[in-house]
Structure 1
Amino acid sequence: MTRGGLSELLWWGAAIVMVVSVGVGCWACCAKEYRYVPILSGSMGPHTPKGALVVTEPLRAQDMKPGDVVAFMPPEPWTPGDGLPMVHRIAAVTRDLGGAVHMTTKGDANDIPDPWQIDLTDGAGTYARVVYQVPYLGGWIVMVRSVGLVAGIGIVTGVVMPWNAVKRTPRVRRRRSAGTVARGTASGS
């Protein structure tokens, strides 16, 4: 196999692996209800640094325990304007005299717990446990989301297409005949 043929084979192999990976990721997201949450602040550092992307799975309110890192929507007036859930660690789960169950959360890098308590008594609300994290990917997701999907695809295409064109451009080589002398060399000194 020629060098160019091997290069093209590797290119297509990488493209197929990428398409399959995206497909499996989409399937996992839909079938298992996994969700992806970008980390926009440093409140969970160093465990989960700013710019990371966390993968979460659904978690029932009655299964929450101190130490779990969870994604949730804080109550008003602390609800984020961007609509993204907050990711913090459960500091405590308490039960008051009336039987109500409350969750207190805290960012790992914060000195004090969050100013809210979330009522878990009726099991209402959507909660998810962090099961995996990918460093740096969250920042890229936020950038593409803010610029827009079309612009993100355009940027990727704008980088990949010229690179591909350069890689596929045939190189013209000149052959020197045996009787010619390269310029700049001294002969017969």
Structure 2
Amino acid sequence: MTPAAATPETAERSAAGRRAPSTASRAARHRRRHLTPWLVWGTLALVAAAAFAWYADGGRWARVETPSMGTTAPVGALLWVKPTDFDSLRPGDFITFVPPGSDLTFSHAVEARNADGTIATRGELSPTDPWRLEAEDVRGRVVMVWKGAGWLALMGPALLAGAVAIAIVRRFVRAGARAPVTLLLGAALLALTISWYDPLVGAQQLAFTADDDGSATGTFVGTGLLPVEITADGGDRVRIGAGEVGTVEAVALGAGEQDEHRLEVRIAPVLAWWWWALIIAGCFSPAVVSAVRERAARHGAVAP
């Protein structure tokens, strides 16, 4: 049986059928490219509008820089502060204030109302504050605590400036190389910012006790985003998270050194399984993005 020869009309329909998926694919990619900026700018606009409404209503923000409030507001937390009626404050209320004779802002809990109408405050990990607060000293009541968000607020200007610089560099890079270049520069920007501000791993010593046998005991509080393990040289170890308190003891030192009462500790991050998963995913993300883009390009190509 002799196969039928392809007519020009048949060949034209076949070519059109091959071109149709390619045209649809290009149209879909075109829509995605134009939709993504709108989604990004729309989200930023909503965030900016919410922040403006909060500020216009008297709300303010404060970033926690010391560990005095323990796990309630660890270092790096972002506090949402709302104006409040001074007479309505009760023990346990979390407030932000500027104490008399100081220009520093503190955020502690109300401990008691004094007979003269002033209030006393203290932190969870600190003794009663030495001042008595009046209405003009109080800036507001803390209504929300976003743990870790204060670090983002601190690093935000550097990240934003870096993002603008990356966007400018992208304009001078050919289209096919923009994705890997963006990933490379973005990773470098994030690494440099984290290295400079050091938000991940930290601990602060709260107390130190020297024992008669030459050993020493130290109490620490976590000040980073990641939980850490603190190991005393020749002694025990303890794991603490942000705002958590732990104590380690270093055993007695060798002969001739017992009068020094030294306490040397090592601080190391403790990574959960999902942190490792994120790290591994980040390492493979450039290859995955490149493979996806290459596959999309092949499917979008016009068949001969």
Whether 1:116 and 2:142 are equivalent positions in the alignment is no
Q: Among residues 21, 27, 39, which one is paired with 1:13 in the alignment? A: 39
Number of the residue aligned with 1:157 = 164
Report the CA distance between 1:20 and its aligned residue.
2.1
Number of the residue aligned with 2:65 = 40
Q: Among residues 122, 141, 151, which one is paired with 1:106 in the alignment? A: 122
1:51 aligns to what SS in structure 2? Answer: coil
Please give the TM-score of this superposition, normalised by the length of structure 2. 0.45
Distance 1:135 1:61 in 2: 26
Query: For residues 112-150 of structure 1, what are the alpha-carbon distances to aligned partners after superposition, in whole Å with 9 as ceiling and x for unaligned?
Result: 2112222x3xx4334300011222222343456xxxx6x
Query: Is the contact between residue 52 and residue 138 of structure 1 (CA under 8 Å) also seen in structure 2?
Result: yes
Number of the residue aligned with 1:132 = 144
Number of the residue aligned with 1:183 = none
Distance 1:142 1:6, change over 3 A: closer
Query: For residues 33-60 of structure 1, what are the alpha-carbon distances to aligned partners after superposition, in whole Å with 9 as ceiling and x for unaligned?
Result: 0001111111112011111111111012
Query: Is the contact between residue 60 and residue 127 of structure 1 (CA under 8 Å) also seen in structure 2?
Result: no
1:26 aligns to what SS in structure 2? Answer: helix
- When Rg is computed on C-alpha atoms for both structures, the one with the higher figure is 2
Number of the residue aligned with 1:186 = none
Query: For residues 59-97 of structure 1, what are the alpha-carbon distances to aligned partners after superposition, in whole Å with 9 as ceiling and x for unaligned?
Result: 122111101000000222xx25xx4x21100011121xx
Q: Among residues 81, 95, 106, which one is paired with 1:70 in the alignment? A: 95
Report the CA distance between 1:15 and its aligned residue.
1.7
**Could you tell me the percent identity over the aligned residues?**
22
2:48 aligns to what SS in structure 1? Answer: helix
Number of the residue aligned with 2:76 = 51
Number of the residue aligned with 1:93 = 113
Report the CA distance between 1:161 and its aligned residue.
4.7
Query: Is the contact between residue 80 and residue 142 of structure 2 (CA under 8 Å) also seen in structure 1?
Result: yes
Distance 2:78 2:117 in 1: 30
RCO greater where, 1 or 2, for CA within 8 Å and sep 6 or more? 1
Unaligned runs of 5+ in 2: 1-26, 178-293
Report the CA distance between 1:24 and its aligned residue.
2.2
Distance 1:59 1:34 in 2: 10
Distance 2:38 2:73 in 1: 34
Superposition CA RMSD, Å? 3.1
Distance 1:39 1:165 in 2: 41
**Letter of the structure 2 residue corresponding to residue 56 of structure 1:** V
